[in-house]
Amino acid sequence: MARTVAILGGTGPEGTGLANRLARAGEHVVIGSRDAQRAQEAAKRLREQIGGSTQIGGTDNASAAAQCEVAVLTVPFSGLTALLKQLKTAWKPGTIVIDTTVPLAASVGGAPTRMLGVWQGSAAEAARELLPPGVGIAAAFHNLGAALLAGGSQPMATKDGRLWLTYNGEIFNHVDLRKDLERAGHPYQTRCDTETILYAYREHGPRSVTLFRGMFSFAIWDKDRRTLFCARDRLGIKPFYYYWDGDLFEKRRKFMDA
């Protein structure tokens, strides 16, 4: 039976980014919002962006919660209590709620300034008190900025289809590198660091590795030259495992079974 994943408070960059990734992975996704029309518009944009038989819908938060097996909370921590009180009678027994909220205070402009004290111990433990019996709670954290969630599906190719990349990690200085690469004429399609690796390699070749500050392992296939370039970060924080049988290359994040 197909599983429905609701992204509650999901019309912002984090919510739509997660919806994008989950839908591309084959999940049936419903975006929830205080404004059902806004959620429907966000879902329509994602369907047009992804194409195919993508299953993404949009509705109000309560309707999304009522129809899902898994719900991901992507509202700011300041709005978490009000949302969960609103949804208290909407949940189905057995639903798993994944809380991604972080108790941060924000200054004008939204920059996080300090952690807020949560006497229960964590945002997820505070949420637990507002959920009915039979509904599970889990905490989750990701190290990608919200903007990066919306792109970066792999394998990723340059716009002309010449270079193909599979990659794991994060390039901390990708924003600075991007500025130079855009000035050099490289046509970005996303805001993610994955694309920066591709265009840095196109501009600088293997020397591009010396420009990256971060943790990474990747492989780039040049379709025109029929060459494969592989690299990892200097400390091996992201190890590079691969399989090669003379015909098939496959990058793996863990050792192959014997």
Could you read off the pLDDT of 167-190 as tens digits, one per residue? Answer: 888 888 988 999 999 999 998 877
Q: How confident is the model at residue 256, as a pLDDT?
A: 38
Neighbouring C-alpha atoms within 13 Å toward the C-beta of 169: 28
| pLDDT beyond 60 at 254 | no
Closest CA to 241 of 215, 221, 217: 217
Q: How confident is the model at residue 119, as a pLDDT?
A: 47
| pLDDT beyond 60 at 83 | yes
| pLDDT beyond 80 at 1 | no
Which domains does the chain possess? 4-139 (3.40.50.720), 152-252 (3.60.20.10)
Question: pLDDT higher for 251 or 229?
Answer: 229
Q: How confident is residue 21, by pLDDT bands cut at 50, 70 and 90?
A: confident
The model carries a pTM of 0.61
Q: How confident is the model at residue 184, as a pLDDT?
A: 92
